[in-house]
Every structure is written in C-alpha cells, then in structure tokens.
Amino acid sequence: MRRVITTLAILLVVVVAGMTALVLLVNPNDFRAYMVQQVEQRSGYHLELQGDLRWHVWPKMSILAGRMSLTAPGAAQPVVSAENMRLDVELWPLLSHQLSVSQVMLKNAVVRVTPDSAAKAPQNAPQGPRNAQTSTSSNGWSFNIGQLQIADSLLIWQQAGGDELNFRNFNLNLDQDDNKQATIALNTSVTRNQRSATVNLKGELDASQYPHRLSGKVDQLDYALAGANIPPQGIKGSLSFEGSWNGDNQQFSVANLQLTANDSALTGNAEGSLALPQRLALNLQATALNLDNLMANAPVNEAEGAQHATVARAPVIAEPRERNNADSPLNTLDLALKLQAKSAVWRGLALSDLQLDASNQQGLMTVSTLKGALGSGSFSLPGTVDIRQPETRVSLQPELQQVAIQPLLKALELPESLQGTVSLSGQLSGEDLTVEAAKRNWQGRAAISANDLTLAQINLQQMVRRAVARISNRVSSEDKDGQGIKQIAGQVVLNRGELDFSELTGSGPHLALQGKGQVNLQQQLLDITLGLKLSGWTGDDKLVTALSEQTIPLRMFGHWDNVQYSLPVDDVIRNRLQNEAKSRLNEWIDQQQDNDDKRNIKSLLRP
C-alpha cells in the first residue's frame, strides 16, 4: 500500500510540476494573433480581445480573457460581445504547439441577431461560387471548438423593419463532434408589451454543411406565456419537430411537428421562406383544439359555487400603443393554412370535424373553407379578412343548417330566450373581427328559418286561449302545454347593431303566424309584432269560425330583460261580437215588411 501511495504522489507531483512549467513557459498571449487570424480566415469574422490572456488551471486547463467581441464583415455592431471569456484547452496538444479548444464559455454576453450585426459585402465585390470550400491552414497549427457555453446573457433579435426582441437570462450549451453533429440545450425568457414568455429547449443539430444548410430536430421545447391579452391561466405546452434550413435561399421545412397548448394538441408539418416576400405553409391536424383556453377574450362559464381568483393588474406606466394593422406580420407574409380538428371548442360551442383552408396574400386573407359540425347541425363560414388598411375589413358568407339556437345565443352573449334549431344563409360585412364589433357595426342580410321554436316562459297558444277564456265562455280549446312554433321563416337585415325581421311566416300545432319587428343589439331593446291565427276551437260555431279566421296581434316590446306584452284579444272578440250582433239585427230587420221602419232602425244602428 505504501508503494501505491508513493507512486500516486510521484505522479501527482509530476503532473503539477508539468502544468506549472507549462504555465510558466507558455504565454497564452502568444495565441492571441493566431486565434484572431484563424477566426477571420475560417469565417470572415473579426475577433477582438481586450486585455491580457492568462492561464486558469483548475478544474480545467483554461485561458481567461477579458472583454471580447466578434464582428461580421461590414457589420456596424458585433454579433457577440462579452465581459468575460474562458477557453478550455486540451493539455497534450499544447506540448506540440497546437491549440485545441474544447470549450468556449461566455458569461454576461450580448448576442445580436439584427440587421446591424449581419454581414455586409462591400459594394461591387466579386461573388464566388456558393459551394466553394474554405481553405484550411497548413502552418502546423490546428483550431477546433467542441463545446460552446453562453451563460446569464442577453440575445437581441430583430428582423429588418421589425421590432427588437430582448431574450434575457439566455443560457446556451452546445456540444459538437468532429463531424459537426451537435446537441443543444437552451433556456431563456422574453418580456414585451406586458407579456412574458419562457422557453426551455433540448435538441440536436447537423452543422456539417453550415452556412449553406442546417438540419436537426427539437426533442422537447417547453414554453409558457403570460401577461396582457393572454388567458388568465396563461398558455403552457411543449413542441417537438424535425427541421432543415437552406441558408442560400432562406428556406426552411418542418416535419413531424407535435404541439401542445394547454389542453389542445396538434400535429403536422410546415415549410416556408424568410426571404421577401416571406412565405409560410402550414398543414395541421388536431385531436383536440380548445380555442377558449387560448383566447383572452373568451367567455367564462360561471359555475355555481365556483371560486374565482383575483387577478392583480400591473400599474399602467404609459398608455398602450394603439393597435395598427401596419404592424401585422401578415402584411409581408404569404400564408397557406390547412387545419383539420376532430373536436374543437369556440366560445363554449362544441365543434367537430372542423376544416379550415385559408390563404393570405400580404394582408388579404381568403378563407376558402371554414366548416364543421355543431351538435346535430353544421356550419360553413367562408369569406375574406382584409388588414391592408388601418381598419380590418371582414366579409363573410355564413351558412347554418339545423344548428341549436340556445348555445349559439350564449356564444354570442345574447339572451338565451329561444330554443330550437336555426338554418341561415346570407352575407355579412363590417370592421374588426370580434363578436362585439359584429354586434356593433357589421351589416348584411340573410334568409333565416327555424324549427321547433319555443320562447322561454312564453306559450303563444296558451296565452291566446287564456285571453279568450277571460272574455267569453262560448268557445274553448284544448289546453296543452309545451306547444311552440313548428316552423318559421323570413328575412333578417343587420345594420350596425339593429336586426330588422320581415316577412316572417310560420306554423305550429293549431297555429299560423305572420310578423315583423326589430331588435337593437346595442340598446338591448326589441319590438316584434306577430299576427296569430289559432284553430282547434270548440263551442259556438260562428265564434269558432271568427277566431279561426281572425288574426290576433301579439306585440312584444321593451328591454329584453323586462319584455312587455300586448295581446288585445278582448278588442278582437268584442268587435267580432258587435259585428255579429249588427249582422243578426240587420237580418231581422230585412225580414220586416215596413220599409220606412227598416230605414229608421238601420239609421239608428249606424255608428
């Protein structure tokens, strides 16, 4: 045992002595010009090192540098600048005058991916072949980086003409082998316009053909979004995909995409180009798509006894910038989107077999197909959305077939006072693509029909029967509850918040009706008049005939939370009875012989 300990101690002394001698005999500043030369020769970038280089021997053999910067040819700002840089080097190559860098570590760095940091070729510079191979040094030296670590840094990202995004707490670990096959681990966060996002990524990268081509896959990308115009619970999920990038023509492709966002899950692929005009084609499939959990303005279902957390609002430092379509990325993007969802939720409506086929041409979006099933019915909503002007212009051609009315009214935040199914075909247009805007300033017209229509707490037939019973006991009718309107159809015109119904005709059990009216969506007022004809009366034959043929006006008016009714059945019957009495009296007079007496009596009966 003593010999083993002695041998280990001798080896330790030799290693320490060798490293000490190396530190004393090899000056790291001798590598400064070489590193600058090799970086510029291999990449064209200019490396600047400020201050002296010094050794650091524990836990790895390293060269420590002060402030450094790396600048692309012709760029106004450096791509990378850092206060501190550490180069972990291999020990044995140093003994043969070789510098092999196993890891580069930057701390508190600023990484710029902006137009000012991009390489710019000199004017009238000759263009070499794109597939030309870079020359390698033949002076006996080698330069190789296997690992890159960026810690506690800042990434500034900006596209030409776009807004600048600052990714803080930027941490990147990149390991690559001799074949330029790399593994990547990245986490960062970004805050902008009172919204924040965090990203944690793990993936693989093939950089063997860089800068012409890149390929790789994202094994897992976890993200979280929170803040203004984001649902109170935030948006959390994961993303994975395989992708490739063609640097020569600025094109990319994504395959085997898998995305989760709260309780939504999508798969698909994408391809596009970042060169102007930018292009993106998305083909997505969803097993579940809950839009209500992804939209900040989605209606909240109030559950009985539910407890709601109080959301603290951040102090307003300045007035938020007014929304302007000029800032939309769709103005410079050609988009093709195809989406299929087995099930989806929008404003509480349970949709199935949802299909979307839309395209965007620099701000003009055409929705060729937007259709699906809604309960036992179906819907189709093709149209266009134009954001080329400051105000968004919308034009839609809605078609509904046998859609349940009550859930639809709830989704549109209207009183749930009707039950049944509705079918509709029409044309709508207006400004802004929101439900509130549609109720406030949209315009259009449609042909509408409804089946099995019932009004909440209102039975039209029962109202008329009871009104007749209070006036006369000479007729009666079977009193059956739950009777409604079997079918009703008409025309509806929407004009900036006011619905105008006309040509309403309908029928039901022992019922026929005609009507018209208006509903003011902004002031929540209505004024609708229905002319009702009821059959199924029994009793006095003439009165039964009169009631069956007579139109009884029912008027509903006032605020829709406190609707008033007018049903003048007594006036109708009284007029009918008076006309009947006059008719009988005239018949009796006609049977008399004295013409003078008849004329005198008739003159007395005239009003």
Residue 498 lies inside a defined structural domain of this protein: yes
Whether the per-residue pLDDT at 603 is higher than 80: the answer is no
Residue 580 pLDDT > 70:
no
Q: Is there a domain that residue 72 lies in?
A: no
CB-neighbour burial class of residue 598 (10 A; exposed 0-12, middle 13-18, buried 19+): middle
Give 415-468 as a DSSP string.
---EEEEEEEEEEEEEESSSHHHHHHH-EEEEEEEEEEEEETTB-HHHHHHHHH
Cα-Cα-Cα-Cα dihedral sign, residues 467, 469, 474, 479:
positive
Say what percent of the chain tops pLDDT 90: 37
Is the pLDDT confidence value at 177 over 60?
Answer: yes
Residue 169 lies in a domain: no
Predicted local distance difference test score (pLDDT) of residue 318 = 45
User: Per-residue confidence at 118, pLDDT binned at 50, 70, 90?
Assistant: confident
CB 534 within 8 A of CB 510: yes
- Tell me, what's the pLDDT at 36? 82
What is the pLDDT, as a whole number, of residue 551?
A: 82
Phi/psi of residue 321, nearest 5 degrees: -65, 135
The pLDDT of residue 1 is above 80: no
Cβ atoms 560, 524 nearer than 8 A: yes
- Is residue 494, in this structure, part of any structural domain at all? yes
Q: Is it the case that residue 154 has pLDDT exceeding 70?
A: yes
Say what the pLDDT of residue 265 is.
94
- Given a cut of 50, whether residue 312 has pLDDT beyond it is no
3-state helix/strand/coil string of 293-342: HCCCCCCCCCCCCCCCCCCCCCCCCCCCCCCCHHHCHHHHEEEEEEEEEE
Q: What is the mean pLDDT of residues 519-533?
A: 90
Please give the share of the chain, as a percent, with pLDDT higher than 70: 76
**Choice between 112 and 74, residue whose per-residue pLDDT is larger:** 112
pLDDT at 412 over 80: yes
CA angle at residue 264 from 258 to 265, to 5 degrees?
Answer: 25
**How many domains does the chain contain in total?**
1
CA dist., res. 243 & res. 241, Å (int) = 6
Handedness of CA 325, 331, 333, 335 (dihedral sign): positive
Q: Is residue 488 scored above 80 in pLDDT?
A: yes
Q: Do 579 and 605 touch, CB atoms closer than 8 A?
A: no
In the DSSP assignment, the letter for residue 124 is: T
Is 477's pLDDT higher than 60? yes
Lowest mean pLDDT among 3-12, 194-203, 453-462: 3-12
- 356-370, 500-514, 541-555: which has the minimum mean pLDDT? 541-555
Tell me: pLDDT of 323 over 90.
Answer: no
Q: How many Cβ atoms are within 10 Å of 99's Cβ, its own excluded?
A: 20
Residue 239 lies inside a defined structural domain of this protein: no
> What is the C-alpha to C-alpha distance for residues 64 and 54, in angstroms, rounded to an integer?
5
pLDDT tens digits for range 140-150:
333 456 788 88
What pLDDT score was predicted for residue 341? Answer: 95
- Give the whole-angstrom CA distance, residue 81 versus residue 49: 10
For residue 89, list its beta bridge partners.
101
Residues 6+ apart with CB under 8 A from 45: 39, 70, 71, 72, 73, 79
CB atoms within 10 A of CB 339: 20
Q: Name the one residue in this structure whose structure tokens are 């402030």.
A: 67
Q: Are 201 and 218 in contact (CB under 8 A)?
A: yes
Answer whether 0.85 is exceeded by the pTM: no
The predicted structure's pLDDT at residue 143: 42
* Mean pLDDT, residues 458-487: 73
> What are the tens digits of pLDDT across the range 364-409?
999 999 999 999 999 999 999 999 888 899 999 999 999 999 999 9
pLDDT at 16 over 60: no
* 68-71 vs 62-65, strand pairing mode: unpaired
Cis amide leading into 211 (omega within 30): yes
Distance CA 381, CA 364 (A): 17
Residue 3: the pLDDT is 60
| Longest CA–CA separation in the chain, Å | 159
Q: Please check the confidence at residue 306 and state whether its pLDDT lies above 60.
A: no
Give the model's pLDDT for residue 350: 93
Residue 54 lies in a domain: no
Complete DSSP assignment for 58-69? SSS-EEEESSEE
Is residue 307 very low, low, confident or very high in pLDDT (cuts 50, 70, 90)? very low
Q: Which of these ranges, 314-323, 376-385, 408-417, has the smallest mean pLDDT? A: 314-323
DSSP assigned state of 550: P
Classify residue 16: in a domain, yes or no.
Answer: no
In a domain, 473, yes or no: yes
- 108-112, 251-255, 271-275, 576-580: the lowest-pLDDT one: 576-580
Confidence bin at 85 (pLDDT 50/70/90): confident
Mean local confidence (pLDDT), 401-427: 92
- What domain range includes position 536? 389-567
Tell me what pLDDT residue 142 has: 38
Mean pLDDT, rounded, for 319-347: 81
Mean model confidence pLDDT for the chain: 80
* Size (the chain), residues: 607
Which helix or strand (DSSP H or E) is residue 579 part of? helix 569-590
Q: Which residue has the higher pLDDT, 523 or 32?
A: 523
Tell me the pairing of strands 278-290 and 333-346.
parallel
Q: For residues 318 and 233, what is the distance between their CA atoms, to the nearest angstrom?
A: 25
Task: Report yes or no: 56 and 85 within 8 Å, Cβ to Cβ.
Answer: no
pLDDT band at 532 (very low <50, low <70, confident <90, very high): confident
Distance CA 154, CA 156 (A): 6
